[in-house]
Structure 1
Amino acid sequence: MWILLALALLTLSFNKKIAVGLLLVTSVWAGWLGVIDLRVAGGIILLAAISLTGYTLPQRPAIQRTIECLLVMLAVALTLHLMPGFHNPKILDLVKAGPESAPFTLYFNFDKALTPFVLLICTGSLFVRETPPPRPLWQWLVLLLTVPALLWLAVLLGGLKIEPHWPQWLLPFALANLFFVALAEEALFRGYLQQRLAGFMHPAVALVIQALIFGSVHLAGGLLLVIFASLAGVIYGLAWMWSGRLWVSVLFHFALNICHLLLFTYPMSVRQ
């Protein structure tokens, strides 16, 4: 079922009808397994109907803003697991990546995975916007190097330790992290928020604001995590801004998380 949901998300960027069809099949399967209840199933059918009819927001500005605001609130609630009716299965329970790593729990989040479907109604350029001027290769290489540099900074600040490992649960972690975490968060913070902000302010200011908001979402993990996430938000935001492609920022996000898991204490040092 989860692979089918991942395929729906992968397809969403280039064929919305197939993606919605896959989502409907996945939802039936999820309902049968008890991952979602009837409230969610009804909402997904409505969402699918809106998507398949080619619905666009009304031209009247007041109505347009109201509907878009409601949709964004729904996307935020899905991302933060605030919507009722979801029973996301626990895949890993208090496992440790290594002896110096703190235990963590992994869920497969059906609710968070719906975020890109909702936001695509708000903006058709969620995945691909107008292609910006090409950047020199050396700038991309520098941006790529900021991924390990940020992790090294976390080590210097005492939040992480070097601890290479290859956990047996790498594949389910990668599936969940790529499609049900990185894609959902990039759709909300870069594909939607940064794009909307850049529409009425300088792109650099939009970049900083979305990064700070992205960092603040991680406040429960402490100040160090907020700083770390904010800096990561700058990296992902630059990847999106330079490429105009959401999947580029998703891959940067995923690469940082995988490097974190494989080479450092995950999610943090056990003494934190």
Structure 2
Amino acid sequence: MWIILAGALAALSPAKRLAVLLLLLATLLGFFQDVLNWPAFIVLTVIALLVWLRVENPGNRPALIISEAALVLMAGGLFLHLLPGFHNPVQVENVQAGPRSVPFGFSYNFDKALIPFVLLACLPSLFRTQKCPPRNKLCWLLLLVAIPLLLYVAVFAGGLAVELHWPEWLGTFVLANLFFVSLAEEAFFRGYLQQRLRQKMGGVAALLIASLLFGLAHLPGGTLLAIFAALAGVIYGLAWHWSGRLWVATAVHFLFNLTHLLFFTYPALQH
């Protein structure tokens, strides 16, 4: 089921009809495997009705505004795991990536995986929009170099330590983090939020506000995590702003998380 769901997300930009068919198949399997139950059916029905409202009323501005606001609220609920009926199965629980790392766990998140579908209905340019490339292509190299540099800053701040890992659950982490974390978060904060803000306020303000909100979303993990998430959000936001491609921002986000896992205490240093 999870491979099918990941395939639906991978196909969403180039082949929307295939993506929807794969999502329907994954959803049916989700009900059979008790990952989803009847409240999730209600949530999915409401989303489908809101999407239908947009499709059937392309020239009705009030209907478009109301339906978009409702869909964005639904996406926020999915992001925060607030909507009922989703039982995301735990894949790794209370493990240490290394001896100095804080014990942690992660799940496959069906609810977060729905976010790109929901937001694409609001904004057709979610995956591909106008790019604003830097004047010097060297900026891309500097952007990639910023990934380990920011992680090293976290080391000096006392939040991380250098620690090499190659955990047996690496493949599971890659699937979960790429499709059900990085893509979902980038769809919300860069593909939708930063793009909408850029349309209203310009590139710099959109980048800073989206990054700040991304940091605030990580505040439950502590102030230090929120600060570094906001700084990482600037990296992801620049990748999106320069390329105009959601998958580029997602790849940079995933590369950051993978670098963190493989070379530093993950998710944090155990004191």
What TM-score range do you get, normalising by the shorter chain? over 0.9
Partner of 2:267: 267
In the alignment, the residues of structure 2 paired with residue 40 and residue 205 of structure 1 have an alpha-carbon distance, to the nearest angstrom, of 36
Matches of residues 1-272 of structure 1 in structure 2 within 5 Å? 1-44=1-44, 47=47, 55=55, 58-133=58-133, 135-271=135-271
Query: 4+ runs of 1 displaced by more than 4 Å?
Result: 45-54
Work out the percentage of aligned pairs sharing the same amino acid. Answer: 52
Deviations 1:166-187, CA, capped at 9 Å, x for gaps: 0000000110000000000000
Q: Tell me how far 1:49 sits from its aligned partner.
A: 7.7
- Measured at CA, do residues 6 and 49 of structure 1 come closer, stay the same or move farther in structure 2, by a change above 3 Å? farther
- Measured at CA, do residues 190 and 56 of structure 1 come closer, stay the same or move farther in structure 2, by a change above 3 Å? farther
What SS does structure 2 have at the residue aligned with 1:106? strand
Aligned partner of 2:234: which letter?
A: V
Q: Tell me how far 1:44 sits from its aligned partner.
A: 3.4
What SS does structure 1 have at the residue aligned with 2:201? coil
Q: Check conservation: 1:56, 1:121, Cα contact below 8 A.
A: no
Q: Tell me how far 1:74 sits from its aligned partner.
A: 0.2
- Measured at CA, do residues 20 and 91 of structure 1 come closer, stay the same or move farther in structure 2, by a change above 3 Å? same
Q: Tell me how far 1:222 sits from its aligned partner.
A: 1.1
What SS does structure 1 have at the residue aligned with 2:130? coil
Q: Tell me how far 1:221 sits from its aligned partner.
A: 1.1
- Measured at CA, do residues 197 and 237 of structure 1 come closer, stay the same or move farther in structure 2, by a change above 3 Å? same
- Measured at CA, do residues 6 and 38 of structure 1 come closer, stay the same or move farther in structure 2, by a change above 3 Å? same
Deviations 1:178-226, CA, capped at 9 Å, x for gaps: 0000000000000000000001112101100000000001111111101
Deviations 1:113-163, CA, capped at 9 Å, x for gaps: 000000001000000012434653211000111111110110010000000
Aligned partner of 1:30: which letter?
A: G
Q: Check conservation: 2:218, 2:226, Cα contact below 8 A.
A: yes
Q: Check conservation: 2:50, 2:71, Cα contact below 8 A.
A: no
What SS does structure 1 have at the residue aligned with 2:92? strand
Q: Tell me how far 1:48 sits from its aligned partner.
A: 5.7
What SS does structure 2 have at the residue aligned with 1:132? coil
What SS does structure 1 have at the residue aligned with 2:183? helix
Deviations 1:41-87, CA, capped at 9 Å, x for gaps: 35436656876998276434333221111100000000110000011
Q: TM-score, normalised by structure 1?
A: 0.95
Q: Check conservation: 1:131, 1:244, Cα contact below 8 A.
A: yes
In the alignment, the residues of structure 1 paired with residue 7 and residue 176 of structure 2 have an alpha-carbon distance, to the nearest angstrom, of 12
Q: Tell me how far 1:38 sits from its aligned partner.
A: 2.3
Q: Check conservation: 1:239, 1:249, Cα contact below 8 A.
A: yes
In the alignment, the residues of structure 1 paired with residue 30 and residue 133 of structure 2 have an alpha-carbon distance, to the nearest angstrom, of 43
- Superposition RMSD on alpha carbons, in Å? 1.8
In the alignment, the residues of structure 2 paired with residue 58 and residue 69 of structure 1 have an alpha-carbon distance, to the nearest angstrom, of 15
What SS does structure 2 have at the residue aligned with 1:199? helix
In the alignment, the residues of structure 2 paired with residue 56 and residue 203 of structure 1 have an alpha-carbon distance, to the nearest angstrom, of 32
What SS does structure 2 have at the residue aligned with 1:136? coil
Q: Check conservation: 1:57, 1:67, Cα contact below 8 A.
A: no
Aligned partner of 2:246: which letter?
A: L
Task: Name the count of aligned residue pairs.
Answer: 271
Q: TM-score, normalised by structure 2?
A: 0.95
- Measured at CA, do residues 202 and 56 of structure 1 come closer, stay the same or move farther in structure 2, by a change above 3 Å? farther
